[in-house]
Structure 1
Amino acid sequence: MEEGAWMVSLVEELEAREVAARARVEELRERIAELTVRLEAEREAWSRLVIARETVAEVVADLPDVELPGVASVARAEPLISDARVIGAMTVPHWRQGMTAEVLPGVYRDIVEVVADAPGPVQAKQIVPRIGLPVQTGKIEGTRGKLKRLVQRGWLTEQVPGQFAFPHHGAGPGSVNSR
Structure 2
Amino acid sequence: MEQDLLALLKQHEEAARQRVEELRSELNEQIAAAEESLSDLMVTQVALARVLAERDADEGEFERVPAQDADSDDLSGSLPPVVRITTGEMPAEGDWPVLALLASADTPLRAKEICERLEEAADHRHVETLRMRLKRMVRRGWPAEPSRGLFTLADGVRAPDRP
User: Normalising to structure 2: TM-score of the pair?
Assistant: 0.50
Which structure has more RCO (C-alpha within 8 Å, separation ≥ 6)?
2
User: Normalising to structure 1: TM-score of the pair?
Assistant: 0.46
Point out the structure with the larger strand share.
Answer: 2
**Structure number with bigger Rg:** 1
